[in-house]
């Protein structure tokens, strides 16, 4: 995934805030308990003997067995590293974007910040958010629009600096 092509639209980031929070938690857990194939598991999964008779396994191990096992083990390490890297990269991207959004939200006027936190980040209805702020729903919409416009300006400013 190209980190520059992913979400940089603040309204999209806000609307996906709660689902992204879940995704971040899932990726953190996946990385914490990332399953890796061990050398023994790889070698045990390779059966180089031939069965002769009922219930008895005998046979000769080929001279190529160690070579094949070594290269198979290298391939498994590569697959493990690549998979882990994709999880880690996506988690890092999402955490950086989350940190950036939270920082920009912290720079908003107090009422704007409160609207964003309650409505988008906590998922509280517009009626309840308006009530919490002691304003009408119409005023809530005005404050929300001002906040989103200000966040958009912040993102536009930094995107111009990034290029």
| Token pair listed for 81 | 């590293």
Check residue 39 and give its pLDDT: 58
pTM of the full structure: 0.68
Per residue in 114-154, pLDDT (tens digit) is 999 999 999 999 999 999 999 999 999 999 999 999 999 99
Check residue 8 and give its pLDDT: 78
The candidate with the shortest Cα–Cα distance to 8, out of 115, 114, 157, is 157
- Residue 57 pairs with which residues in a beta bridge? 51
- Residue 50 pairs with which residues in a beta bridge? 58
Q: DSSP letter string over 37-69?
A: --HHHHHHH----EE-SSS-EE----TTHHHHH
CA distance 141 to 126: 8
**For the chain, what is the total number of helices (H) and then of strands (E)?**
7, 2
Residue 155 has pLDDT above 70, yes or no: yes
CA distance 121 to 126: 12
Check residue 85 and give its pLDDT: 84
What are the residues whose beta carbons fall under 8 Å from the beta carbon of 87, sequence distance 6 or more?
A: 27, 30, 31, 34
CA distance 18 to 25: 11
Per residue in 46-98, pLDDT (tens digit) is 544 444 544 445 555 566 766 666 666 676 667 667 778 888 899 999 999 99
């Amino acid at each position: 995934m190209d980190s520059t092509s992913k979400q940089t639209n603040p309204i999209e980031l806000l609307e996906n805030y709660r689902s992204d929070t879940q995704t971040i938690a899932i990726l953190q857990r996946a990385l914490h308990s990332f399953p890796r194939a061990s050398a023994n598991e790889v070698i045990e999964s390779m059966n180089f003997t031939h069965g002769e008779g009922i219930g008895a396994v005998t046979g000769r191990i080929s001279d190529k067995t160690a070579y094949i096992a070594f290269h198979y083990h290298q391939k498994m390490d590569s697959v493990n590293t690549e998979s882990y890297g994709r999880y880690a990269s996506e988690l890092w991207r999402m955490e950086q974007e989350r940190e950036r959004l939270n920082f920009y939200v912290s720079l908003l006027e107090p009422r704007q910040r409160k609207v964003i936190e309650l409505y988008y980040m906590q998922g509280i209805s517009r009626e309840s958010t308006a009530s919490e702020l002691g304003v009408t729903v119409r005023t809530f919409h005005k404050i929300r629009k001002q906040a989103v416009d200000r966040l958009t300006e912040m993102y536009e400013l930094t995107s111009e600096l990034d290029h």
